[in-house]
Structure formats: C-alpha cells, structure tokens
Structure 1
Amino acid sequence: MKLVIAERDDKEREAIRWLVSAYSLPIEHVYTAATVEEMMVLLEQEAPELLYVELDMIPYDQWPRATAHVRLFCRRVIAATAEATFARAKQAIDWQCVDLLVKPLEPAKLKQALRTAASLFPSRPSLAAGGEGPHHDYRSLFCDDPAASPHVWLVQAEQPALSPEVIRFLTDYPFRGRARVLPLTYMAVCLLFDLPGDGKEAAWKLLRDWEEDHHEPLAIVAMPPDGRKTVRAQYQAARRLLETTFFIGYRQVIAPAPEYEQQRELDPFLTPEEQRQWIGMLERFDYEAVKRWLQREFWHWTPPFPSPEMVRTRLTSILAQIRRFMKTYRLDRGMTEREYMRLFHEILYNPVLYRIVQELILFLYRLLHEAKQAEEGARADAVERGLRYMEAHFRDPSLTLEKAAAAAGRSPAYFSHLLSKKRGITFRQWLTNRRLEEAKRLLRQTDLSVKEIAEQTGFRTAHYLTRVFKAELNETPTAYRDGQRALPPR
C-alpha cells in the first residue's frame, strides 16, 4: 500500500512517517509533499491508496484542481487541520475523508485513523506468517475436512460496532508461530498452530495487549488442540462456550470445562404466583422489593447456565407486567414510553445479563417515582375538582357528599378520605364553615333579613341558621350584625 503525506511542517511529516513504520501498519511505500503542487504530482505518478493531507495548505483558488486530483488518483483520504471550523469539516465531507484530525495531532488518534483507512482495502492473502495449507480457511469452519487440529480461538468484542477494529488488531498482532485470522460477523476465528499447552496464557496476553489501547472489553474462547475433533467441531463448541459471556461478562478467557457442558432448565415465563408478586410490588410502589427480586433472580449465576434466550424471554415476561402498570397510570407515552422501548431493545440485544438487569432496575426506579407522583397528582386533582364543585354549589341546600364525590370522580368514602388527608377537614365541616362565612359577609354588607340570608346560603330556614350560628359563634345572627355595625369603620 502507498501513502502520500502532504504537510507543510517538516517535523510533522517526519513524525507521521515514523509513526507508520513504528506501528507495523500495512503501508509499504511512503511519499512526502510540502506543497500542493508536489502533492498533485505525487498523486499522478504514484496513484496511492492513501493520502494524508493538511487542508490548510490548499489555497482557495487551487481547491477545485486539488479536488479533481484526489478523486482521480487517490482512494482514501485522512485530512488534518488547525482550524476546527464548519468550513473545514465540509471540505473533509466533500472529499469523503476517512477522518478529520484537529491539530495538534494526537499519535493515538492518527494511528487509529491510519488503521481504519488501511482496513478499507482488501486484506492481504495471508494474515500471518507461514502457509497453513488449503484446509485452514473458511471451509474448515463449516465442513468436516480432515486436517491437523490447531488451537481454535473465538474472539469477540462486547460492542458489535468494534468488530472491524478487532479484526484489524488481530490481523496486525504478532502471534507466536503460524496463525490464520478468519473474520466473521461480529467476531473472528483464530487458528493457531504452534502454541504450547492449552494456549490460555497466550490468550490472556492478547487480552492485555488489546486493553493497552482499548477500553472496550473483549472475550476469547480458547479451545486447545484435540486430535479427535475437526476444526468445525472445535468451532461449534467455541460458539456454545461464547454464550457464557452473557452471564459472566467480557474481559474473559473462557476454556472448556465440565460445568459448561450441561444447561440448566429455566421456565421462560412468570408463574401465576410470580405475576401476583409483581402486581403487588408495583401497586405498592415497593422499589426495594422489586430490586431484591431482580437481583436474586438474575444476578450471581453459577454454572450450569440456562439458555440466554430463555433468560431474555423471562425478562420480557416481566416487561409485560410493567407495561400493564404503565397503562394504569397513563405512562405509556412520551419520554417514559421511549425509555420503555429502549429497555425492550436492551433485553433483546445487550450481550451481558447484569447490564440488562441494571438498566431494568434504573428504569423501574424512575417509573415507580413517576407513577407515585401521578397518583398523588390524581388525588390532588380529585380533591380540587370536588372543592370547585362544592364552592359552586354550597348555597344549594341539597348539596351532599355523594354529589361532590361524583363530581370528583371518586366514591363518597374515598373522596371523604382524600379531603380529610389533603385539607384536614370533613365534608360537613367544610360545608358548614363555608356557609357561615358567606352568611357573616351578607350580615355585614347587606340589609337582607336573617330568613333571606338563610335561603341564600343553603341553611334552608332562619331557625337552622340561628342554631348553627349560636353553636359556632355563641351569638345570634342579629347580635353578630349589630356588633359588626357598632365597630368603627376601617
């Protein structure tokens, strides 16, 4: 592979050239240019697979010509700039750059960009030293061809998006002896022919080397040679062993063991008793009980493990109970609905069980908090609806608790309970106080008779108004009026 480095800074050019040689990148020839003219000449002469170019070195009037050369003579471009602007980003997009780096350059980012660009070209015929023979290719994974039994490793990143980076890492890795890397969807198979022992020590070393430059976890299933089994049989056993990462996580070297050879039975659906437990925990907003149930059920698994798909199905059974709870409180919409759908996706596709359970616990914490607020809001709304009705109809002698409760959308007993809890007063006390308050206002501000005031305030008769007045204020309505009028004006 050929690389042209177009950069005005002499030291930057030499640093990039050194980086290419130091990291064993699949680049055989490196050419450098200090001007746009030199760059275009090199592009015409060498037609390189890869161009590193400093965008700031290209004058505006030469941009169309430079663009034409890049599109005609170069396949991949890595751009760099000291100007982190939208204009530079648009130029990089126009050239369909693999990456746009911002100066000062970070060696790790430049190395990553070069590896990414190099990976976009066809792989070399042999991925490691030593001819392994015709049987040690993809056919050996799917056909029972007789062949010498190598070590069979299955390597997978926890995040599927990292699979191309894993392939690049394995392709460049200095395996001991003859090796072959066979990329698959979301994983890679390594066939290793000269490893001593069971190969676990070498697998752990590869894992440590990966983690020097990557934070994302990796898992390796290491199958030692077995003269009784074909590569295909070893590969199939490795695929089954890889399922254990669902329970134990990544950052693991997994080797065959007797406890992995069996599978635990698991009912994928909640029993009627478990459904009742979930209904009760959710209705009580008992977050701690929910958390304990999930941790007891899904954390701290020991072999033999059940099928991951059975566990995922069981989790979706729990999700069905949660869905009904959400509908009860009308939380199956907006942000909560989007979070629910995201959790459903996690249950189906997250590769590690304890991460799914943690996401489920966090979601339930937020959901129960929102449901409790919704219930309290509904209670408050019911009280307010009832009070508004009572305020509008307190002058009506036929106003009853049943009518106020019906207006609030609650039963009489429950509305009475809510009113006492929220306002600290019974329906009868509120009604008597409100009628007395209005009667006192009319006595102070009008010349209406006691009989007329009783009729306007819901007391039915003057006698009843007088009796309530004396019981509450220890005086008659007439005495109250006289006393108020004797007071000096405010």
Structure 2
Amino acid sequence: MKLVIAERDHNEREAIRWLVSAYSLPIEQVYTAATVEEMRALLEREAPELLYVELDMIPYEQWGKATSCIRLFCQRVIAVTAEATFARAKQAIDLQCVDLLVKPLEPAKLKQALRTAASLSAGGERPRLDAHFDDYRPLFYEDFADVSFHVWLVQAEQPSLSAEVVRFLTSYPFRRRARVLPLTHMAVCLFPELPGNGKEEAWKMMRDWEEEHHEPLAVVIMPPDGQQSVRMRYQAARRLLETTFFIGYQQVIAPAPEYEQWRELDPFLTPEEQRQWVEMLEQFDHEAVKRWLQNEFSHWTPPFPSPEMVRTRLTSILAQIRRFMKTYRLDHGTMECEYMRLFQDILYNPVLYRIVQELILFLYRLLHEARRAEEGARVDAIERGLRYMETHFRDPSLTLERTAAAAGRSPAYFSHLLSTKRGVTFRQWLTKRRLEEAKRLLRQTDLSVKEIAEQTGFRTAHYLTRVFKAELNRTPTAYRDEQRLHRSSPQ
C-alpha cells in the first residue's frame, strides 16, 4: 500500500513517516509533499491508496483543482487541521475523509486513523484508473455512442461492505450482462439493455442482497433517454444518491422533478434559535430539546436541502451544546469522548435520522450530568453570566448588577472575573455584541437605523451612529451601502 503525506511542516512529515515504520501498518511505500503542487504530482504519478493531507495548506483558490485530483487518484483520505472550525469540517465532508484530526496530533489517534484507513483500503481497493482505463472511460469522458446504456449506482449503508457489494454484483445473475465498475464506497453497473426502466430488476437484486447480508442497500437507476451520455447520467446518479441522507437506504431511486435541485437552507442558527437553545438547555428541558430536533429534521419533503448544509446546521447546534458543557465543566472525561463521537457521527453518518437519534440520546445524558453538576454547585460563573448577557443584550436597561446576580456573584467580583478571564469589561463586551447584531441587521434587512437601534439595545439612533463611527470610522448607512455594493460586484 502507498501513502502520500501532504504536510507543510517538515518535522510533522518525518514524525508520521517514523510512526508508519515503527508500527505494524500495512504501508510499504511513503511519499511526502510540502506543497499542493507536489501533492498533485505525486497523486497523479502514484495513485496511492491513502493520503494524509493538511487542509490548511490548500489555498482557497486551489481547492477545486486539489479536491478533483484527490477524488480521482486516491482511495482514502485522512485530513488534519489546526483550525477546528465548521469550514474545515465541511471540507473534510467534501473529501469523504476517513477521519478529521485536529492539531496538535496525538500519536495514538493518528496511529488509529492510519490503521482504520488502511484496513478499509485492504477490504476493498478500487482498480487503478490506468489499469482499466477503457472500462472507466464512459464515467469520465463524454461519449454519446453509449446513450442507450442503463446506468446504476449501488451503495451499501455500511462503507465496510463496499468490497462485498462489488463481489455480489459481479456474480449476480442479472437478466442482461452488466459491466461492474468499483468506486470508493459504491459501484457502477452499466447495462446495454434491460426490460422497462430497470426498476423491477433493481428491486429483485436488492431483495436478494438483503436476504444474504441483512444490511440495507440503495440503488440509483438512470434509464437511457436517448440524449444523455453515460457520464452525464453517472453524475446525475451521484447527486441522486445523496437523497439517501434523508430517505434512508433500502431504496430504488429513479430520477424525479423534485430531486433535480437542492432547496435553500441557512446552515447557521438565527439569534432567536440560539436563545431557544440557551433556554432549553438551561432549563434541562429534555422534551423541548427532543421536539425541536424532531420538528427541525424529521419531516422534510422534497426538494431537500443539501446534506452538507444540514450537517453544518447540526454542527451549529453542537456549538451551543459545547458552550453549555463548558458552563457545567463537562468538557472532559466520558462526556467529552461522547461529544467527539457525536461530532464524527454528524460528519460521516450517511443517514440523517440516525444522527438525530444519537444527538437526542447524547443530550439526555448531558442534561442529566449537568443537573448533577448544578446540584453540586460546580457552575462556572463567567459562562453563566455570558449566557445571560447573550440572551438579554437587546435590553437597553441591562446592567452589570443584573448580570452578576444571574451569575450568582457580586458585581465587583463578576466584573473582576470577566476582565481577568476574557480580557474585556462588561461595557466593552455589551457594546461589541450589540454592534455585531446591528451590522448583521444592516447587511440582511431594510430596517431603518432607528429600528435597528431599538432592536439591538442602543437607546437612540444617534448613540448607535456615534458608536459606529468610533469603532468602524463610518456611519451605519455608509456601512450598509458598502456591503450592498460588495455583494452586487462581480466575483
């Protein structure tokens, strides 16, 4: 097995090379790259089974080319980042990474990630593209001579069964001979002809699979239409396969108008939703949490939003949960391990309702532990005060005294804690938060400056304008005009 290590830090590269040689990992050849250009050249030349890549080394403008190269020439990817952000998590999802690690790296975690990725590759290697170029040509080149072919995309819910899916399809007695092309986590079947649209044949094959393996399978069928090439229908099938995130497996999925495009979804919680989560968690309201998640994620109908946007929205909820954990000092030990497992589940679990189930169960355990922590008086006063400030910053009468009372401390002591731990005074934090909300409303709404001042805790429009000039050296109106001009200019 070949491994390419794409990492800017020389010491990191050598440490990983040593780790591979020191442990019993089924990796025979290791190549290293210090730049994106070196990585792409190695991938094209060696087509390695495994890539370790530092996401931070790939500039934004090179992301498209880099990901295309990785998907085409590499079977498994381990990503690493120094920025534990939603953006990095989304990039890891785009690359369908086996694992996403956060620096500084723990050797034990890196070893486990390498071992897992290596075992997946050993269980189901896909052919080298140059070895079967002619077989795979229809998937990557437009050839309108094959417009009469039926195109199927077959995937098991469990990625570890990918090799078994290929074996099963290769030996299955289809009524018409199929060409089976293994890909990462899935297989393509090409049929010169099939009765009807092929749906009956697909259901029969899937039932036979489940009788033998007792694991769910999904089949996307793309009948010929006399106009679209195999490549065009293969790309459409990959897009259709993503609907399994919402409808689950044990499905034969055919093209339909409601599946043709994703609907819009704001992946981040609104300020009102953030307040809802603060209140539900603070009140230990298990049932409200369950209802919110089920109402939000369990009743969608086509057209669906992009699965990536839904995963990002789930990580936005995790951000609120993380803050709650810190408040009750539960960000370590067993709860921390469960939180990290849930984070991985959100990134990689192929079915939405399973993620929501795990999230609800985790929150039940978390709220139970938080209530115990509350009873033991182990609540962080600063976090409690900050949550109160976050909830009430729109109230122009919010005072240090009220906040300190909510935190269970005297005003002088709470002010001291805030300055010591966060490096800001009560007034500085409050002004900054109100200003952030005012900027958001200026960008996203047509509310007047007076209305925005009323909604963000500034007593008058004049005071809001004065703060704006002091902090940003421009008026609110000038800021809004500038943002609109920026949005309307060509990218």
TM-score by length of 1: 0.50
Superposition deviation, residue 242 in structure 1: 0.3
Q: Residue 304 of structure 1 corresponds to which residue in structure 2?
A: 303
Letter of the 1:146 partner, please give it.
F
- Matched with 2:142 is 144
Judge conservation of contact 1:135–1:145 (CA < 8 Å) in 2. Answer: no
The 1-side partners of 2:179 and 2:206 are apart by 18
1:103-130 CA-partner distances (Å, limit 9, x unpaired): xxxxxxxxxxxxxxxx99999xxxxxxx
> Counterpart amino acid of 2:362?
F
User: Residue 221 of structure 1: SS of its match in structure 2?
Assistant: strand
Question: Corresponding residue for 1:187?
Answer: 186
Which secondary structure state, in structure 2, belongs to the residue aligned with residue 216 of structure 1?
coil
Answer whether contact 2:124 2:163 (CA < 8 A) is retained: no
1:316-364 CA-partner distances (Å, limit 9, x unpaired): 0000000000000000000100000000000001000000000000000
- After TM superposition, the structure 1 = structure 2 runs for residues 12-91 of structure 1, keeping only pairs within 5 Å, are none
Q: Shift of residue 145 of structure 1?
A: 1.6
1:445-484 map, 5 Å: none
Amino acid at match of 2:215: E
- 1:84 aligns to what? none
Letter in 2 for 1:272: P
- SS of the equivalent of 1:210 reads helix
Displacement of 1:227 in angstroms is 1.1
Q: Give the conservation status (yes or no) of the 8 Å contact 1:135–1:147.
A: no
Distance in 2 (alpha carbons) for counterparts of 1:281 and 1:273: 12
Contact 2:152 2:189 in 1 (8 A): yes
Alignment partner, residue 242 of structure 1: 241
Code of the residue aligned with 1:203 in structure 2: it is A
Q: Give 1:319-398 correspondences, 5 Å limit.
A: 319-378=318-377
Counterpart residue identity of residue 261, structure 1: E
Note if contact 2:126-2:184 (Cα within 8 Å) is conserved in structure 1. Answer: no
Residue 135 of structure 1 deviates from its aligned partner by: 9.8
Structure 1 position 215, deviation (Å)? 1.6
Amino acid at match of 2:347: L
SS in 1 for 2:180: strand
Please give the alpha-carbon distance, in whole angstroms, between the structure 2 residues aligned to 1:289 and 1:121: 46
**What does residue range 193-204 of structure 1 map to in structure 2 within 5 Å?**
193-204=192-203
Partner of 1:358, secondary structure, is helix
Report if aligned partners of 1:259, 1:304 keep a CA contact under 8 Å in 2: yes
Amino acid at match of 2:353: Y
Shift of 1:379: 7.6
Alpha-carbon separation, structure 2, partners of 1:331 and 1:195: 58
Instruction: Map 1:122-133 to 2 at 5 A.
Output: none
Shift of 1:410: 5.9
Q: Within the alignment, does 1:208 sit opposite 2:207 as a pair?
A: yes
The corresponding residue for 2:270 is 271
Percent identity, please: 78
How many residue pairs are counted as aligned between the two chains? 258
- Work out the CA distance in 1 between the residues paired with 2:340 and 2:187: 31
- 1:217 paired with 2:223, answer no
Give yes or no for contact 1:177–1:192 (8 Å, CA) kept in 2. Answer: yes
What code does the residue aligned with 2:304 have?
F
Query: What do residues 195-249 of structure 1 show as CA deviations (whole Å, max 9, x unaligned)?
Result: 1111000000010000111121110001111210100001000000001000000
SS at match of 1:378: coil
Deviating above 4 A after TM superposition, structure 1's stretches of 4 or more consecutive aligned residues are 119-123, 409-412
Give the CA deviation at 1:137.
Answer: 2.0
Q: Structure 1 residues 256, 410: closer, same or farther in 2, change over 3 A? A: closer
Query: How far apart are 1:178 and its partner, in Å?
Result: 2.4
One-letter amino acid matched to 2:361: L
Q: Which residue of 2 aligns with 1:153?
A: 152
Once residues 239 and 126 of structure 2 are traced to their aligned partners in structure 1, the CA distance between those partners, rounded to angstroms, is: 30
Decide whether aligned partners of structure 1 residues 170 and 359 sit closer, same or farther in structure 2, where only a CA change above 3 A counts. same
8 Å contact from structure 1 (residues 176, 194) kept in 2: no
| 3-state SS in 1 of match to 2:252 | strand
- CA change 1:304–1:121 in 2 (3 A) is closer
Q: Once superposed, what is the RMSD of the aligned Cα atoms?
A: 2.5
> Rg: which structure is higher?
1
Aligned match of 2:256: 257
2:329–2:378 contact (8 Å) kept in structure 1: no
Instruction: Give the alignment of 1:288-303 within 5 angstroms.
Output: 288-303=287-302
> Any idea what SS the aligned residue of 2:135 has?
coil
Give me the TM-score of the superposition, normalised by structure 2.
Answer: 0.50
Distance 1:332 1:268 in 2: 24
In the alignment, structure 2 segments of 5+ residues that lack a partner are 1-122, 380-406, 411-491
Residue 262 of structure 1, CA deviation: 2.5
| Contact 2:151–2:221 under 8 Å retained in 1 | yes
In structure 2, relative to structure 1, the CA distance for the partners of 1:237 and 1:122 (3 Å cut) is: closer
Q: Report if the CA contact (8 A) 2:218-2:252 is conserved.
A: yes
Distance 1:258 1:135 in 2: 33
Quote the Cα distance in structure 1 between the aligned partners of 2:266 and 2:125: 48
CA 1:189/1:121 → structure 2, altered by over 3 Å: closer, same or farther? closer
8 Å CA contact 2:262, 2:304 repeated in 1 = yes
Give the aligned partner of residue 170 of structure 2.
171
Residue aligning to 2:8 = none
How far did residue 147 of structure 1 move?
1.8
| SS in structure 2 at match of 1:225 | coil
Which string of whole-angstrom CA distances, capped at 9 and with x for unpartnered residues, describes residues 359-386 of structure 1? 0000000000000011012289xxxxxx
CA contact 1:155–1:220 (8 Å) conserved in 2: yes
